[in-house]
Amino acid sequence: MKNLPLAKVYQLLEPGPVVFLTTAAKGRANVMVMSWHMPVEFEPPRIACVVSNRNFSYAALTATEECVIAIPARGLAAKLVKVGNVSGRRLDKFKAFGLTPLPAARVAAPLVAECFANLECRVIDSRFVPDYGLFVLEVVKAWIDPGQKNPKTIHHRGYGAFAVDGPIIRLKSSKK
């Protein structure tokens, strides 16, 4: 995995891919699936995301205020749905579904080796958690896997249907 400049992080999340969110608390790592996220700042990259208190990861996220957002490409879709269908309460989902946790540099939550990008995050604002489950994260370190060329991300449409990235079009824009 190679360092990714923080100024480029929003380009990964702005298109709306479904992602993994990992946490680690009390010596135990977990991974969930998340689709409700968006950038709120370019640099430092800040991200708003929703993690419900019904998710097992919620307790670890609120206790440690750290997580990793790991972005899967199309080949991980089947594993992703399996991860999303069960709780980590009684299951080591990394082991059960063949995902490889790797140590992160700045947070205790693990990277996911199979993902083409991994974003190490800290919670910087929890004021909106009670009303919306909305956490504001800041990305403190970002990794990209140069071995995965032109990864196609996947976009959840509900009930296990996903749109895979199709053609890329380029239009003349004066904006980020």
Name which of 100 and 132 has its Cβ closer to a second copy: 132
Cα(83)–Cα(102) distance, rounded to whole angstroms?
17
Q: What are phi and psi of 92, to 5 degrees?
A: -85, 100
Instruction: Return the closest-CA partner of residue 121 out of 67, 63, 45, 164.
Output: 67
Cα(73)–Cα(128) distance, rounded to whole angstroms?
30
Q: Is 88 in the site for a second copy (CB under 8 A)?
A: no
Which of 77, 91, 102, 113: binder of a second copy (CB under 8 A)?
77
Q: What is the DSSP letter of 110?
A: P
Residue 56 belongs to what H/E stretch?
Answer: none
Least distance between a second copy and beta carbon 127 (Å) = 8
Name which of 147 and 169 has its Cβ closer to a second copy: 169
Cα(75)–Cα(151) distance, rounded to whole angstroms?
9
Name which of 127 and 149 has its Cβ closer to a second copy: 127
Which of 5, 15, 44, 98: binder of a second copy (CB under 8 A)?
15
CA angle 22, 99, 35 (to 5 degrees): 45
Interacting positions 35-74 with a second copy (CB under 8 A):
35-41, 46, 48-50, 74
Name which of 26 and 161 has its Cβ closer to a second copy: 161
Q: Which residues bind a second copy (CB under 8 A)?
A: 8, 10-11, 14-17, 35-41, 46, 48-50, 74, 77-78, 81, 84-85, 125, 127-128, 131-134, 136, 152-176
